Structure 1
Amino acid sequence: MALYRDQAVVLRTHKLGEADRIITLFTREHGRIKAIAKGVRRTKSRFGARLEPASYVDLQLYTGRTFDTITQAEAIENYGDALSSDYQNWTVASAILEAAERFTQAEHEPALQQYLLVVGSLKALAEKKYDPSLILDAYLLRSLSVAGYAPSLTICSRCDAPGPHKFFSLQGGGSVCATCKPSASATPSEATLSLMSDLLTGNWESAMESELRNRGEASGLIAAYLQWHLERGLRSLPLVERINRG
């Protein structure tokens, strides 16, 4: 039995048998893994609420043939408690957790940059540092960038002509000039593309000064761009969009 320790964010859980759960974890050193938490559904479980979605924990596990098994779990930060009291924050957090699992398709493959993006985004949400929808869009853009899909926002993605440009193409990789634009290109405002650039680069002071219409347009472009590259959208995003409209 090989024991190891790691830090992790709980992405999701589902029931196993009468008292156990399979916990999907995004770990710092081992990437995404699935592990069994035995007895976690019992009232007097030694794990308490430390293995709920959005929990940030220090774990001890031992390796198994199919699933590893969690033997110890200590809370680093229980972001789930802080976020669950605010419906918008929890909905955004759920979208981040879902996206994190999609961006890490292979198990047991370290993905430190993606991991740090998840931890940082949950921390920003829990501390209510910025508008939740902006935190989500910044997370999605940066995760796309880490995965190699960063949209071009300041130059033409086809010919490198300096922008700003009037057109945005999903299949073209972002901003495109009038010469290179495919027929199905969108025409976002310059302020929207500027906001997306601010979110990608971490210019929060400028991003927080953006207008609501530009935030909505940016969110729509980011969701469509994400769906283009992941081949299907996130289940959580329509709910986030409804909350933002409400």
Structure 2
Amino acid sequence: MTQGKDRFIILRKMKYGEADLILHALSPRGEKLSFIARGALRSKKRFGGGVLEPSHFVTFTYKAATDEGQLNVLQEATLVNDFAGLRHDYDKLEFALHVLECVSKVSQEGDQNSEFLFNLLGHTLKAAETSTDILVLKMHFYLKFLLQQGVVNAEPWMAPFLKTNLADSNSLVNHRQLVDEELHNVELMVKHYLQHAMI
């Protein structure tokens, strides 16, 4: 196994056996990688302080899997950003976990050309911390996500959302009526796409 070190956003974590964790994480290239953190539930030295939580932006040092189907073996994890603002508001945290699920379903192992997916995820988590209207941010994320995935063509009414950076999502609150009118339909499109993305 070769040594690897990179930054990741953690998408999912699952308990495995007595003390191990399996983690899915997104690299800056948009590639989804799977890791096993042996003894993570016991080792406070290597993985202490709740570093291995979904949504956390982390640096992983790991032994890279050499064969297909093998897991990368996580050796050390350090926190870069825990997006602490998400954990002070239930709606923000719920939205963040939903965003992680959306990205997890479309990201793929071996895909080295989806930097936009990593950037979209990181910018959305950051924006959620300071969002003044989570439904506006949800619409903002959905439209950028669907456009990047090639699911929708840009329509005139989408322009304010598609032209605005996620960092400036709060400036879109004056389009709240549009969100009220269109969010349900856009949500259905995302749901339908994700259901078929894995087939």
The interval holding the TM-score normalised by the smaller chain is: 0.7 to 0.9
Relative distance call for 1:30 and 1:36 in structure 2 (3 A) is farther
Q: State the structure with bigger RCO (CA 8 A, min sep 6), 1 or 2.
A: 2
Which secondary structure state, in structure 2, belongs to the residue aligned with residue 209 of structure 1?
Answer: helix
1:121 counterpart residue number: 124
| Alpha-carbon distance in 1 for matches of 2:147, 2:17 | 39
Flag the 1:115–1:30 CA change in 2: closer, same or farther, 3 A. closer
Structure 2 contact 24–35 (Cα < 8 Å) conserved: yes
Determine if contact 1:103/1:143 at 8 Å carries over to the other structure: no
Q: Name the structure where helix makes up a greater proportion of residues.
A: 2
Aligned to 1:198: 160
Distance 2:45 2:86 in 1: 23
Which residue identity lines up with residue 90 of structure 1 in the other structure? Answer: L
User: Gaps spanning 5+ residues in structure 1: where?
Assistant: 155-193, 234-246
Question: Secondary structure in 2 aligned to 1:141?
Answer: helix
**Kept after mapping to 2: 8 A contact 1:134/1:199:** no
With over 3 angstroms needed to count, the CA separation of the structure-2 counterparts of 1:90 and 1:206, relative to structure 1, is: closer
For structure 2, the residue ranges without an aligned partner over 5 or more in a row are none
SS class of match (1:28): coil
Residue of structure 2 equivalent to 1:139 = 141
Tell me which structure has the larger Cα radius of gyration.
1
Q: Distance in 1 between matches of 2:170 and 2:21?
A: 42
Q: What RMSD, in angstroms, separates the aligned Cα atoms of the two structures? A: 2.1
Asked if the contact 1:30–1:108 (Cα under 8 Å) also holds between the matched residues in 2, the reply is: no
Cα pair 1:89 1:132 within 8 Å, conserved: yes
Deviation at 1:216, TM superposition (A): 2.4
In structure 2, the CA distance between the partners of 1:71 and 1:51, relative to structure 1 (3 Å rule), is same
Q: Residues 197-243 of structure 1: CA distance to partner in whole angstroms, max 9, x if unpaired?
A: 322221747621123x432222112112223333369xxxxxxxxxx
Match among 63, 79, 83 for residue 75 of structure 1: 79
Preserved contact between residue 30 and residue 116 of structure 2 (Cα < 8 Å) = no
1:25 has 2:25 as partner: yes
Query: Equivalent residue for 1:98?
Result: 101
Number of residue pairs the alignment of both structures matches: 189
Residue 111 of structure 2 corresponds to 109
TM-score by length of 2: 0.85
